[in-house]
A and B are shown apart, each in its own frame.
Chain A
Amino acid sequence: MAPILELRELSVSYETQGGARAVLSKLSLDVSAGEALGIVGESGSGKTVLVRSILGLLDPPFRTDHGTVVFEGRDLRQLDEQSFRQLRGGSIALTTPEPRKHLNPLISIGRQIVNVLRAHQTLAEQAARTRTIELLRAVGIPDPERRLAAYPHELSGGMCQRVIIAMALAHQTKLLLVDEPTAGLDVTISRQILDLMHELAVSHGTALMLVSRDLGVVAHYCRRVAVMYDGRIVEDAPVEAFFAGPAHPYSRQLLRAAAASRGKRGAEKRVDALAEPARTGCPFRPRCPVAVAACATAVPALQQVAAGRRARCLRAEALLRQELAA
């Protein structure tokens, strides 16, 4: 399937008083039309920056140094604000963690959805309201006519997330960026929300890029998974193969931690996080149980290590053959 989103060598840095710090380093990634891709990594790996970068929402002190973001054949980095605006909330949409915070507290949700609708199409007020009611119904909000006048603080977290989804899928969305869908929500509620998103995505043929710290969610709802570490993709594999046997030491640590905390609420894995990424050579080296001397010389390239799988590790193939005990 043709990729609708192609990221090539995307590099983003953050300016501080002490100099520029790399947040994304030459990141390359593809998302195919209609596919569900999961992005996992710990906090600080750059997942949120990646999402914002695709939508062109990074303001100074963030700076995009290099790279292309190609959506449906157009390089988004060359786009002017006006064209980008039409794309946002239209072909590419975003959902966020902590949904209530992302809704305007002083305006009714009905009006907020109407505003989003009218920003993308010329629609009369009444038609927009009707469409809003349809959307609310589609995301499973009961009694939508009454809910139009509701304010965000009157709705539960789950309902707010549904409102956000309604806004996100209001137009023919080709790519839905889902940022931490389970954050701030009850486990049962987030399950419902994820089912809803998945269902809508499948029925509309929307590609999904699901960013999460929760491996379980990725396992369940995604076809492919990409692992991020220190601003780079370190592994990229189909979900079944990945969970059967990872090709990167970091992935292995993640899986192990997830297994250990399975059954506990909010399966956020606690990984051995005390070591900072290395400045030279493979950044994972300080935490890597299977590193060798060669790992210190340069950052390994993201290479094909099996059918449809890439990994950024010199020991990937050995890992795959289950030779390494670490």
Chain B
Amino acid sequence: MKYASRRLALLPVQLLLVSLIVFVLVRQMPGDPTFLYTGPFATTERVAEVRKQLGLDEPTYVQYVRYLERIAYGDFGLSMRTSQPVVADLRQRLPATMELILYAVVFSVLIGVPLGVYTAIRSKGALNRGVFVYGMTSGALPDFWFALVAIFIFFYKLHWLPGPIGRIDLLISKPQNISGLYTVDALLTGNWPALASASGQLVLPVATLVFIYMSLVLKNTRSAMEDMLRSEFVTYARAAGLPRLMQWRYALRNAMPPIITVTGILTWFLLGGAVLVETVFAWGGLGQYAVQSVVNSDYAALQAVVLFSAVFTMVIFLLVDLAYFLIDPRIK
């Protein structure tokens, strides 16, 4: 309990530091940050008014405090591109990215962990060589390029899958909004056409992400399993007459902590990976939003995305630590 409460106590400090970094980042940009909050078409009086509110005439640390206040209220400014509050933009786009990451993580783990366990147990053979080659290539190939090649093969040439037009076919209306994840919502409301279309659209982007990023899970699972299989307690289990299946279960159980960690790291990676993949598939999620804001110098939006991604990362790692805490009785 002590450990968990210590981790939770650290969280606000980390968030504070993150906000500081983002604050520093934003001030790098050329031009007057007032426009982040007024939009580019405000009158001079309005600009002066907001400048006063933002405290831009005041010393830096005051500005930082004001900035923290604004964030606490969820005011991230207006997007120059969409003319909406950035918070609203984020809320619209978040589910798209989450759906992508969710499926990518699920499939990476469902395929990567068993494969990793298998190659650890059986360390020779064709499958092992294939996995080795896969590991080398997936680490070197760029994800955005892979996505394009996949689109070319499966959409253009083979016509098996729909094109990169976003999350759902243009002619089908999106399902009723419950969670924001189209597949889940469609399933919950029995909306079969939407489910079919959304699932079809998900195949290529998820497959791209899984292909490129699963090798992380695979390699780490395999090495964790290998370490455990060689450990003293597994050897002793064998000496005590436990069947092989039981020995493997012992090894796997003890390999869980590193596997959980690598799943957390995978999720962290995927947030970054989603950026490029979303751009290729016109996905309309946070990743594409980040790119659009960079290209359009939409600083308010960019700042919010960066802040969000850091918070997301910290939450993920907190969950990983908590999972460790539940699994390993030695941590108290």
- Chain B residues numbered 207-251 whose CB sits less than 8 Å from any CB in chain A: 232-233, 235-244, 246, 250
Residues of B contacting A44 with CB < 8 Å?
Answer: none
Complex Cα gap A90–B327 (Å)? 31
Q: Are B240 and A168 in contact (CB under 8 A)?
A: yes
Q: Are A89 and B235 in contact (CB under 8 A)?
A: no
Given the interface pairs A89-B242, A119-B242, A153-B330, the reply to whether A104 lies near B235 with Cβ below 8 Å is: no
Q: Which stretch from A80-88, A123-131, A300-308 is at the chain B interface? A: A80-88
Complex Cα gap A324–B320 (Å)? 70
Q: Is B254 close to A, CB under 8 A?
A: yes
Q: Are B238 and A88 in contact (CB under 8 A)?
A: yes
Complex Cα gap A55–B235 (Å)? 11
Q: Are A104 and B330 in contact (CB under 8 A)?
A: no
- Least CB distance from A276 to B in Å reads 29
- Least CB distance from A213 to B in Å reads 19
Q: Are B330 and A105 in contact (CB under 8 A)?
A: yes
- Least CB distance from B4 to A in Å reads 18
Interface range on chain A (Cβ under 8 Å from partner): 20 to 34
Residues of B contacting A98 with CB < 8 Å?
Answer: 232
Q: Are A106 and B254 in contact (CB under 8 A)?
A: yes
Complex Cα gap A98–B236 (Å)? 12
Complex Cα gap A115–B250 (Å)? 11
Q: In this complex, what residue of B is CB-closest to A88?
A: B241
Q: Is A69 close to B, CB under 8 A?
A: no
Would you mind naming 12 contact pairs between A and B with Cβ atoms under 8 Å apart?
A81-B244, A88-B238, A89-B240, A89-B241, A93-B240, A94-B240, A96-B236, A101-B233, A102-B235, A104-B233, A115-B246, A116-B242
Q: Which of A55, A90, A106 contacts B329 (CB under 8 A)? A: A106
- Least CB distance from B215 to A in Å reads 27
Q: In this complex, what residue of B is CB-closest to A91?
A: B241
Q: Are A151 and B329 in contact (CB under 8 A)?
A: yes
Q: Is A79 close to B, CB under 8 A?
A: no
Complex Cα gap A88–B233 (Å)? 15
Q: Is B253 close to A, CB under 8 A?
A: yes
Main SS at interface, chain B: helix
Interfacial residues, chain A to chain B (CB-CB below 8 A): 55, 57, 81, 85-90, 93-94, 96, 98, 101-107, 115-116, 119-120, 151, 153, 164, 167-168
Q: Are A107 and B242 in contact (CB under 8 A)?
A: no
Nearest 4 A/B pairs, CB to CB: A89-B241, A89-B240, A102-B236, A88-B241
Residues of A contacting B69 with CB < 8 Å?
Answer: none
Q: Which of A87, A93, A105, A119 contacts B233 (CB under 8 A)? A: A105
Q: Are A119 and B243 in contact (CB under 8 A)?
A: yes
Q: Is B328 close to A, CB under 8 A?
A: yes
Given the interface pairs A105-B330, A106-B328, the reply to whether A85 lies near B232 with Cβ below 8 Å is: no
Q: Which of A81, A102, A119, A167 contacts B246 (CB under 8 A)? A: A119
Residues of A contacting B244 with CB < 8 Å?
Answer: 81
Q: Are B329 and A119 in contact (CB under 8 A)?
A: no
Q: Are B239 and A88 in contact (CB under 8 A)?
A: yes
Residues of A contacting B241 with CB < 8 Å?
Answer: 85-90, 116, 119-120
Q: Are A101 and B232 in contact (CB under 8 A)?
A: yes
